[in-house]
Amino acid sequence: MQKKPRRTLRRVLLSVAIILVLAVGGVLAWTQIGVMPAEPGPLATVQENPAITVTDADQGIVLAPADGDSDVGLVFIPGAKVDPWAYAAILQGLAEDGVTVVITRPWLNLAFFDPRGLGSFTSAAPEIDVWGVGGHSLGGVRACQLAADADALVLFASYCANDLSDSGLPVLSLSGSEDGLSTPEKIADARDQLPADAEMVEIEGASHASFGDYGPQDGDGTPTISTEEMHAEVTRDLEGFLGPLAP
């Protein structure tokens, strides 16, 4: 009389196990499918740039001034399912001007699946004491969560889901007028999560994908700013924001 309930329980447990395996497998597969690769043209300008060094380190992709003279660093977290190399070109100007940049490789290509703290990335340049943290889109949301351990926060087409309004942290938020994903309205709606003196810069003509070099993105607007103009604008804004942090 006891064998039937036991067989039923085993079947139920087996069914649950199969469902869990399929669910986990589905999530893992989804994180690997549709990853947006770096465009080869902009990436080539980084690899051929004599003013910087490019290191494929355990902590991430490290861009540093070739002369080694760097007092400030920026840990940068990519957007969801975007190749980290897609941010090298837009951040190389910062490295040319003396800021060491560490572009992370989020686990499973999604920043929310990456529990590592800021120190896991700043260890790429232990001689630097002043660090900003930043990110694009979902990477920016994750950067907000790590901001308590940083000296500054930089957002590319992103906004915070946690409240930093009383943090006193220097914040630079760069957004695009043509962004169809992190729209100007969404940026404005989340403004109260940032300190009152946060620098809010909307780049005219920039779309969501303008903040990286990985091609068009579904749901995004159409950019009217060129890649060269976008890179130059972002470099100027970052220099003006991070430069004064140097000791």
pLDDT band at 33 (very low <50, low <70, confident <90, very high): low
Domain ranges of the chain: 1-33, 37-245
Strand, helix or coil at 97?
coil
Q: What is the pLDDT of residues 165-213, one digit of tens each?
A: 999 999 999 999 999 999 999 999 999 999 999 999 999 999 999 999 9
Contact 82, 212 (CB under 8 A): yes
Q: What percent of the chain stands above pLDDT 70? A: 87
Q: Which residues have C-beta within 8 Å of that of residue 12, sequence separation ≥ 6? A: none
- Nearest residue to 92 via CA among 38, 40, 46: 46
pLDDT, position 34:
73
Query: Could you give the CA distance from residue 201 to residue 191 in angstroms, rounded to a whole number?
Result: 12
User: Superfamily assignment of 37-245 in CATH?
Assistant: Alpha/Beta hydrolase fold, catalytic domain (3.40.50.1820)
Contact 145, 162 (CB under 8 A): yes
Q: Is the pTM of this model over 0.85?
A: yes
